[in-house]
Amino acid sequence: MKLPVYILSIFTISLLFASCATIRVKTYDFINSDIPQAFDSCRVAFVSDLHYKSLLKEKGLNRLVKILKKESPDLLLLGGDYQMGCEYVAPLFEKLGSVHPPLGIYGVLGNHDYKRCYKEVMLQAEINDIHLLEHQTDTLWSKQQFILVSGVRNPFDLRRNGVSPTLSLASSDFVILLTHTPDYAEDVMVDNTDLVLAGHTHGGQVRLLGYAPITNSRYGKRFLSGLKYTSSGVPIIITNGIGTSRRNIRIGARAEIVMITLIRAY
């Protein structure tokens, strides 16, 4: 039977690439009329699910930071699930903090960060000037104009966090909402949000011929990866993330840095 041998060869080659932890840069142009003129052409980097040290080891982290510095984003956003142990938090955040984008570094926490190392993550973020938004909104200024970045606290606890922090904001403002899981934007009303950024799915992490046995989303492949839309029409970009969980392999779902260029619509 040649077919199983062929499939096995694809698996072996994919596994080889996965073991190298290659990181791609995936780019998006996001056009919106709420983007202020001062933020036209603003470049936003989004990174999630580092799970340091899983498949992402020290060499991979250095590569990630090198790519981020080369891309020179105006703003760096982080989607949570930073660590696989408390001893890794300090070196990880020190490296991420070295990127120094002019508009700063903002992020949210993931489910693994609430399960362990919460205090260490919050402390090291503060030490390295990384702003973690626990159901909070911050204002980013440029030339007397601003955009807003909101962050969701533990999006899996809807009893406590089921009201989006964007509801109190003006619909005319440009608002980016960070949430670890894309399901939050579907399960909760996120009015006044122009763009949602999420991770958690790992793009399936293992995808064979486009099929992902595990999606980490209640909605299956609907919010697996890429630019999607909620039922209410809110755009959401889901990243494959960087690291891995359960098994330290990636097949058919490359680790990625998302780069978004904000473009003002006239």
Is 107 in contact with 130 (CB distance < 8 Å)?
A: yes
pLDDT (average), residues 25-38: 98
The pLDDT score that the predictor gives to residue 133 is 98
- Considering only residues 8 and 78, tell me which one the structure prediction assigns the higher pLDDT: 78
The pLDDT score that the predictor gives to residue 21 is 52
Question: How many CB atoms lie under 10 A from the CB of residue 85?
Answer: 12
* H or E stretch covering 43: strand 43-47
- Considering only residues 97 and 211, tell me which one the structure prediction assigns the higher pLDDT: 97
Q: Which two tokens stand for residue 259?
A: 């780069």
Is 85 in contact with 112 (CB distance < 8 Å)?
A: no
DSSP-based three-state secondary structure for 227:
strand
Number of H helices, E strands in the chain: 7, 12
- Share the mean pLDDT of the chain: 92
Is 23 in contact with 60 (CB distance < 8 Å)?
A: yes
* pLDDT of 210 higher than 90: no
Query: 85, 29, 101, 24: which is closest to 52 by C-alpha?
Result: 85
The pLDDT score that the predictor gives to residue 245 is 87
pLDDT (average), residues 119-142: 98
pTM: 0.92
Is domain 2-264 classified as CATH 3.60.21.10?
yes
- The string over 137-169, giving b where at least 16 C-beta atoms fall within 10 Å of a residue's C-beta and e elsewhere, is beebeeeeeebbbbbbbbbeeeeebeebbbeeb
The pLDDT score that the predictor gives to residue 135 is 98
The pLDDT score that the predictor gives to residue 247 is 83
The pLDDT score that the predictor gives to residue 17 is 46
The pLDDT score that the predictor gives to residue 20 is 40
Q: Which two tokens stand for residue 159?
A: 């009893």
Query: 183, 211, 197, 200: which is closest to 242 by C-alpha?
Result: 200
pLDDT (average), residues 231-239: 98
Instruction: Give strand pairing partners of 137.
Output: 150
Q: Which two tokens stand for residue 130?
A: 């990384």
* pLDDT of 49 higher than 90: yes
The pLDDT score that the predictor gives to residue 12 is 45
Is 28 in contact with 227 (CB distance < 8 Å)?
A: yes
What is the C-alpha to C-alpha distance for residues 12 and 17, in angstroms, rounded to an integer?
A: 9
* pLDDT of 209 higher than 70: yes
- Considering only residues 26 and 247, tell me which one the structure prediction assigns the higher pLDDT: 26
* pLDDT of 105 higher than 50: yes
